[in-house]
Structure 1
Amino acid sequence: MKKKTAAPKKTRNLEKSRKEILEAAFPLVFARGFQGVSIDDIVNQTSLTKGAFYHQFPTKLELGYALVDEVIKPMIIDRWIKPLESYENPLEGILKQMKTLIGKASPDELRLGCPLNNLVQEMAPVDAGFRDRLEASLTLWIDEMESHIKRAKKEGYLKNDVNTRHVAHFIVMTHEGFYGMLKGLHDPKAFDALFDSLKRYFQTISN
């Protein structure tokens, strides 16, 4: 068997630097918006030089694109898709995740909204690179959600006439709508009304 060659040290260091920059940038952008954060703000939160930043990201936009592709996309899968694999009826998992991640979130967390939706509102109208990547992230979310909705239908949890694509679109829109409403209303109790409406919708499409 051919022995696997270890990654060169330089490559490992570059990967580590890139990860450090992204981990420093994400919370700043989440809290202030992409346009409200400077490269200096980000570099100051790392152990790196500005030169090391530019070696990884020649422009601030390149950093923004990487945040979508390398941070937000995996976050969607980890938070909203993978947990559904452990539920025989994915609809139960969807409700559980929303209750846990949104319903039990602190007011400070809710005040920030959803990182994906924030960037859609801020950057999609003004930059094509962001717009394409954000659209791809939403499409990934819808595609993966539909795969679980199809599974629910196959197992007999949904009515035969249910359009799984439409349901997937609605669920993703609901996630984003929950965050937007709670961010705007500054009232965590509003979650209960929104959550009850989602449960009622699930009842109308379930067997």
Structure 2
Amino acid sequence: MDKNLKRMATMHRMQAKGLELFYKKGFYNTSIDDILKELSLSKGAFYYHFQSKEDFFISIIQNLIVRKVYSMLIEPIEGESDPLVAIEHCFENALSTAEHNEFDYGFVLGNFINEFNGRNDEISKYLRDIYKVWEVNLVTTLQKGKTDGFVPRHLDSEGVAAYLISSYMGIRMLMVEGNNKNLSYHFMQQTRQYLKSLAVTRLV
């Protein structure tokens, strides 16, 4: 195998395992030694690729967390004609994935935003940037829905986006300790009613 490809494969394996550990235990409760033990690596091998635990985590944000949030919550609504239907299906699919994940420790982005808030400004900025991209995507989709006649022009797109994001992050947190199937079902029932209330009333 080409040396560069081998290095990339090693880094991906390290990042995937690191994300799993940080997601399960939290960044501050996971030590370098924990990571080395899981990966069967020496400290020298770790520091060959990364300068510190923080540097390692930033690489995880850039290569894995961005991709996870984008593929699950951003890409599914891009370019869709009816934004409200697209958002409903997006949330439904994302919650279904979480519901069947036996190692669900909450919404990965929400977990880390909470953990780093007030503790690490640099990492917090990276995480907030992902949040902002998600928020802008929702606002843009809703604005397009106004132009296309699916939602009324007076709709507060920023307010709706903030509500949808906070409600999704909240239900993911509750699903960790509760009956996730039941919680997901009731959340989607209410979300459908909310999204329906936003739609333009069409005359038959």
TM-score normalised over the length of structure 1: 0.85
Query: How many positions carry a matched residue from both structures?
Result: 199
Give 2:152's aligned residue: 159
**Matched letter for residue 161 of structure 1:** H
Give 2:56's aligned residue: 63
- Taking the aligned partners of 1:153 and 1:53, their CA distance within structure 2 comes to 50
Instruction: Tell me the SS of whatever aligns to 2:81.
Output: coil
Does 2:30 correspond to 1:40? Answer: no
Specify whether residues 201 and 108 from structure 1 end up closer, same or farther in structure 2 by C-alpha distance, changes over 3 A only. Answer: same
1:88-167, aligned counterparts within 5 Å? Answer: 88-103=81-96, 105-106=99-100, 108-110=102-104, 112-167=105-160
CA contact (8 A) 2:84 2:199 kept: no
Give the gaps of 5 or more residues in structure 1.
1-8
CA contact (8 A) 1:124 1:130 kept: no
CA contact (8 A) 2:171 2:183 kept: no
Give 1:171's aligned residue: 164
Specify whether residues 107 and 11 from structure 1 end up closer, same or farther in structure 2 by C-alpha distance, changes over 3 A only. Answer: closer
Aligned-pair RMSD on alpha carbons? 2.3
Give 1:206's aligned residue: 199
From 181, 197, 202, give the equivalent of 2:190: 197
TM-score normalised over the length of structure 2: 0.86
- Taking the aligned partners of 2:76 and 2:133, their CA distance within structure 1 comes to 16
1:77-88, aligned counterparts within 5 Å? Answer: 77-85=70-78, 87-88=80-81
CA contact (8 A) 1:65 1:129 kept: no
- Taking the aligned partners of 2:185 and 2:149, their CA distance within structure 1 comes to 28
What is the CA deviation profile of residues 116-154 of structure 1, one whole-angstrom value per residue up to 9, with x for unaligned ones? Answer: 111112122211122211111111111122222222222
